């Protein structure tokens, strides 16, 4: 039985779900996030080539994530009022330029500029593409959000593998070849943007933006959800930025071996994000959030203390359980604030990821001062903050 604490969402008929559009937007999300994860995956190469400290690596993560963080909520709020689906290919073009700069950079400043351009591309892509995914959902909001996120998490998982088997053997300039994929993504997004613009013009109804719960309750719930995503993103940032270094330091792995370990975590996240939305459509998003919160804590506490094989197993399980909550959180927030899809996407994809970037920079300073293992000891307790879920509203939004 569905809990009365969940938004009452009745999935529409399968014929109303535009699966082709959802697959296209998911594929482009994968391309977008391959570029992002490529940045983190080549950190060991950049550290050697440019003689970077952990703090400088953290600043690169900060440059990417804060650029996206500052722009995404603003873009989301603007496009809620005036949707701009045809802006999608221009965001991918910014990512294309950033990838070229990473591959051809001759100084640390150029690396930072490339990271910032990828962040700008992400800021343009996420709010509008999340809106397109919801339009194409046919009422299957959790499933659509999961499929959209599956592309992103799949891209994050592929990035380290592509780095391990293409960039490491061929050298950093091989990164520039991934601009071809970004160009393909821009072409697909032009077609998706045209579809969404036609759908927008056909639907002349004014979106309902009436809050279904008291304003104070909504603000409190959004703040709690933001903290949950923030906590998740700090842990994810610690893994994506420093897990390769942790496994190299603790187990003596090669760069390729460490990138494969990172792939295990990111692959688990890709599976988890799909399961979270599909199950959330059946049992309600709040149930999924609770299971994710309670399930991941003992695993994160164990990770810094176990051997190589258990570390790989835990990386998969942590990624799977941690990621399962994200589609449910986004759908829960969208139901709290109807008609503000872009703002919610900007807040949760942008601001929270940017705060994760600030945390990555701080964790880099900690790693320089006290060693890389201290980062994972600190982050292992972060999921405790997930108990704030108890403050979320318990009754239906409808």
pLDDT above 80: residue 66: no
pLDDT above 50: residue 280: yes
Confidence label for 62 from pLDDT (cuts 50, 70 and 90): confident
Percent of the chain's residues with pLDDT above 70: 90
Of the candidate ranges 3-17, 43-57, 152-166, the one whose mean pLDDT is the lowest: 3-17
What pLDDT, on the 0 to 100 scale, is given for residue 321? 92
pLDDT above 70: residue 209: no
What pLDDT, on the 0 to 100 scale, is given for residue 117? 93
What are the CA-CA distances from residue 336 to residues 228, 239, 259, 333 (Å)? 16, 31, 39, 5
Mean pLDDT of 36-62: 84
What pLDDT, on the 0 to 100 scale, is given for residue 186? 94
Mean pLDDT of 304-333: 90
* Dist CA 105 CA 64 (whole Å): 16
What pLDDT, on the 0 to 100 scale, is given for residue 304? 92
Q: What is the pLDDT of residues 91-122, one digit of tens each?
A: 999 999 999 999 898 899 999 999 999 989 98
Q: What is the pLDDT of residues 236-265, one digit of tens each?
A: 888 878 898 999 999 999 888 888 898 899
Of the candidate ranges 179-183, 321-325, 343-347, the one whose mean pLDDT is the lowest: 343-347
Is residue 42 helix, strand or coil? coil
* Dist CA 322 CA 276 (whole Å): 10
CB 126 within 8 A of CB 95: no
Q: Is the Cα dihedral 217, 347, 134, 159 positive or negative?
A: negative
Residue the block writes with tokens 């500052």: 70
pLDDT above 50: residue 13: no
Give the number of other Cβ atoms within 10 Å of residue 125's Cβ.
32
pLDDT above 70: residue 178: yes
Q: What is the DSSP letter of 208?
A: P
142 CB-side CA count, 13 A: 30
Query: For residues 307 and 204, which has the higher predicted lDDT (pLDDT)?
Result: 307
pLDDT above 80: residue 166: yes
What pLDDT, on the 0 to 100 scale, is given for residue 184? 95
Confidence label for 204 from pLDDT (cuts 50, 70 and 90): low
Of the candidate ranges 21-35, 180-194, 219-233, the one whose mean pLDDT is the lowest: 219-233
Query: For residues 352 and 318, which has the higher predicted lDDT (pLDDT)?
Result: 318
pLDDT above 50: residue 299: yes
pTM of the predicted structure, to 2 decimals: 0.70
Q: What is the pLDDT of residues 139-164, one digit of tens each?
A: 788 788 888 888 887 787 788 778 87
Q: Which domains does the chain have, with CATH numbers?
A: 20-391 (1.20.1250.20)
Token code pair at residue 107: 């100084």
With residues binned 3-state (H G I as helix, E B as strand, rest as coil), the percentages for the chain, rounded to 5, are: 85, 0, 15
């Amino acid at each position: 039985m569905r809990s009365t604490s969940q938004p009452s969402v009745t999935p529409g008929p399968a014929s109303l779900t535009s699966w082709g559009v959802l697959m296209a937007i998911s594929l482009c999300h994968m391309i977008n996030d391959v570029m992002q994860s490529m940045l983190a995956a080549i950190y060991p190469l950049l550290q050697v080539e440019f003689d970077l400290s952990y703090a400088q690596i953290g600043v690169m993560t900060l440059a990417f994530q804060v650029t996206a963080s500052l722009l995404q909520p603003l873009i989301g709020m603007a496009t809620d009022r005036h949707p701009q689906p045809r802006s999608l290919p221009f965001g991918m073009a910014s990512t294309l330029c950033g990838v070229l700069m990473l591959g051809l950079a001759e100084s640390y400043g150029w690396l930072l500029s490339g990271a910032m351009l990828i962040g700008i591309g992400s800021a343009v892509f996420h709010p509008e593409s999340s809106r397109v995914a919801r339009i194409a959902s046919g009422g299957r909001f959790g499933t659509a959000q999961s499929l959209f996120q599956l592309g992103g998490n799949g891209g994050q998982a592929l990035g380290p593998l592509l780095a391990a088997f293409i960039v490491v053997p061929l050298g950093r300039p091989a990164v520039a070849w991934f601009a071809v994929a970004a160009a393909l993504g821009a072409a697909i997004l032009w077609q998706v943007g045209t579809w969404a613009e036609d759908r927008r013009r056909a639907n002349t109804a004014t979106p309902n933006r009436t809050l279904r719960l008291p304003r104070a309750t909504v603000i409190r719930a959004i703040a709690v959800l933001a903290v949950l995503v923030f906590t998740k993103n700090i842990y994810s940032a610690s893994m994506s930025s420093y897990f390769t270094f942790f496994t190299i330091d603790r187990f003596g792995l090669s760069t390729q071996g460490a990138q494969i370990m990172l792939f295990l975590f990111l692959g688990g996240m890709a599976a988890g994000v799909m399961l979270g939305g599909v199950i959330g459509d059946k049992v309600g998003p709040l149930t999924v959030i609770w299971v994710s919160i309670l399930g991941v804590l003992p695993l994160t506490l164990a990770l810094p203390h176990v051997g190589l094989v258990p570390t790989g197993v835990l990386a998969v399980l942590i990624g799977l359980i941690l990621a399962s909550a994200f589609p449910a959180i986004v759908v829960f927030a969208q139901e709290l604030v109807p008609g503000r899809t872009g703002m919610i996407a900007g807040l949760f994809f942008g601001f929270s990821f940017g705060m994760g970037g600030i945390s990555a920079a701080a964790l880099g300073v900690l790693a320089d001062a006290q060693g890389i293992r201290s980062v994972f000891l600190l982050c292992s307790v972060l999921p405790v903050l997930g108990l704030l879920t108890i403050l979320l509203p318990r009754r239906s939004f409808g």
